[in-house]
Every structure is written in C-alpha cells, then in structure tokens.
Amino acid sequence: MSKKINFLCLFLASLFFLVTNLNALEVKGQSTYTYKSLKKDRPLAELEAKKNALKNYFNNIGDISLFKEFKKNQNTIYENLDEYVTINSYLVDEIDKKKKQIKLVIQAEIQELELQFLLNANSAVEQSTQVSDIALYIVARKTSKVLSFKEKETRIAKSSSSSNSTEISLADNTGAEVATSTESESMDQTGGSEEKKSDIMTFGKVDGLDDKLFTSVLDIFTENGFEPFDADRFINQDAANEYMLGDSLTSNTKNDMYTAIENKGIKFLMISKITAYSPSTDPDTGEPSVYVETESLVFDCSRMCRGVAAAGPTPVDQIGSTESQAQTNAMIESINKNVREIVYSLNAKNIN
C-alpha cells in the first residue's frame, strides 16, 4: 500500500513539474561585465547574461515577425525580465581581478507562453490603435443657369362662315340667289429652347470654403483612427473643373488622382462633392435658406485603388443671416453627416 502511495506521489510530482515547465525552454546566455564593486555589480552581470539569453532565444526560433515584436517591446520586457528569464545554472562563472571583469555563461530558462502572450497582446493593441492616412479631395459647387428644353407645340385653328343673298337683274327684272362663304386659318407655336433658372443645373465653384470644410471633418477622422491630408496639395484641379460640368469624372482624371495618391504612399482617398442648390426664403423666419447635398466615395489605394465605401446624397437645409452664410452652414453640416456615414461604413467592414 505504501509503495502505491509513494508511486502516486512521485507521479503527481513529475506531472506537476512537467506542466509547470511545459512552456519553458532552456537557452544559453553570456556576459563579460567590467565591475567597480564586485558585490554591487554582480546582479548587473547576471542581468546582461539574461538579456543575451533572451536575444539568443529569438534568434534561434527564426520567427521574423515575433522578433520584430520583441524589438518593439524590448524595454517593457527588460523592465520585468525576471518574469520571462530565470537562471538554472552557471556554466562559466569567473572573476578576472586584473581586468576587473565578471565572466558568466548561464543556462537560462525562457517562459515562452508568458512572453508570447505579452507580445501578442501588445501587437493586438497596436493594430487596434493603428492610424491610417486618408487624403480628402473636397469639391464645393453651387447651381447655375441652364438651357432647359420644352417640347415645341403647334396649334392650328380654322374658322369658316357662309351667307346667302339675292341678286336682281335690272334688264329683265329677274332675280337669282347667290351663296358666298369664307374660311380663315391661324397657327400658334410655343416651346423650344429658353434660358431660365432651374435646379437641374450646370455649376459654379464655391470659393473660400476649402479650409473650413476640411477642418470641419478632421476630428471625425482622427477619432476613428485616420490621419487626414488635404489632397489639394498634390492633386491638380482637373477633377474640380470636371465637376463644374457634371457629376462624373473621366477615366484619365481618376487615374491621375489614383497615381498621385499611390506615389505619396497614402492608403485611402476620399472624393466628396458638395452641391448647393438655388436659395429660397425660410417661411418661418424670412431668412435665406439653402438646400445642400453631399456625396462621397472612398478608395483603398494600398494596392491599386479600389472603392471600399460610399455615402450620400446627404441632404441638409440650413438658414442664415445672408445667402452666403446659409450656404456655408448647410455645406458644413452636410459633409459632417456624410463623413460620419463613411466612417461608420469603414468601421463596419473593419477597414482601417
């Protein structure tokens, strides 16, 4: 009975040792430390040997991504080195009093699971807080006059009248009845081309709002892990000019924009067009009122530009003390709402 108990105790002790050391790996480390005070500097020599053992561990496993994580978090690991590296034995432990050097070669134990847990956790935090560059190309425009077409209409009206009369001959005093009739025709045309104000339009550029529109959306992007750049700094005005003529861009213009973004190494591009329509008068306040719509497209240009998000039209109607103020208020509110839709879409797709 006692033999069985002894065997069971030995088995459990061995199992405990196996479990507690399952995540440990032995590796050698060495240091040659010049000391001033042997007693005070001995722990520093051992610390250098532990650091060397840890470096050898990462060099030996050959995992480049893990080694990069180690280099990023090296200071944090060294501050708590005893949690990850322990000295099992001293293979060399010499004191050179002439050179005042401590020479150590140690057999160290690396706590792999704890170490890799730390590195993986820090890597996840870094990825979750990673900031991506995004270039913002914002075009603000307002409606202008347009040539509208109305179908030509032709109206033809006809009228007729008739009368009877008797003619008497003076020669023989005889009479005959004569009938006469008349017809008239009139033609009226309407329609054709005419110029008038309309909200189906060509466009004019809104000047002086570029900085206000850009800065109004900065916080929305930065709070969601993006660093915005003003794309006007490195993209020409071809796109803006084309948006004054219609709602789309030519292939050449889009390709030029994509190339400019890729050359700058910026990951995302957002193209936004904000359209202010003909002003009206607010019935409640009597102040000018302007209706605005914003449409945006986002492209991921990390490997050839491709569309990843879209939002709009985002409608806003705002008033102001002047027509210009109403227009500014509406444009800022519209692009803010639109950008929030964009950011929500990117976050939902886990795009950053």
Place 113 in a pLDDT band, splitting at 50, 70 and 90.
confident
The two beta strands, 226-230 and 132-143, are parallel
Our CA dihedral for 206, 208, 211, 214, rounded to 10 degrees, sits at -10
Q: What distance in Å separates the CA atoms of residue 255 and residue 305, rounded to the nearest whole number?
A: 9
Choice between 69 and 248, residue whose per-residue pLDDT is larger: 248
Predicted confidence (pLDDT) at residue 166 exceeds the cutoff of 60: no
How confident is residue 352, by pLDDT bands cut at 50, 70 and 90? Answer: confident
Are the CB atoms for 112 and 53 separated by under 8 Å? Answer: no
Instruction: Kindly report the backbone phi and psi dihedral angles of residue 138, in degrees, each rounded to the nearest multiple of 5, phi listed first.
Output: -115, 125
Q: What is the pLDDT of residues 176-186, one digit of tens each?
A: 555 555 555 55
pTM, two decimal places: 0.52
The residue ranking higher by pLDDT, 221 or 196, is 221
CA angle 135, 140, 145 (to 5 degrees): 150
Judge whether residue 6 has pLDDT over 50.
Answer: no
| 202-211 residues labelled b (16+ CB within 10 A) or e (exposed) | ebeebeebee
Q: Residue 270 burial by CB count (10 A; 0-12/13-18/19+): exposed, middle or buried?
A: buried
Q: Ramachandran region of residue 191, left (φ > 0), alpha (ψ -120 to 50) or beta?
A: left
Smallest Cα–Cα separation from 322: which of 293, 284, 282?
282
Among 70-84, 161-175, 327-341, name the most confident range: 327-341
Q: Specify the pairing of strand 268-276 against strand 132-143.
A: parallel
The pLDDT, as a whole number, for residue 173 is 54
CA distances from 337 to 292, 296, 332 (A): 12, 11, 9
Question: Would you kindly state where each structural domain of the chain is located, as residue ranges?
Answer: 15-128, 132-145+200-348, 147-196
Structure confidence at residue 73 (pLDDT): 81
What's the CATH architecture for 132-145+200-348? 3-Layer(aba) Sandwich (3.40)
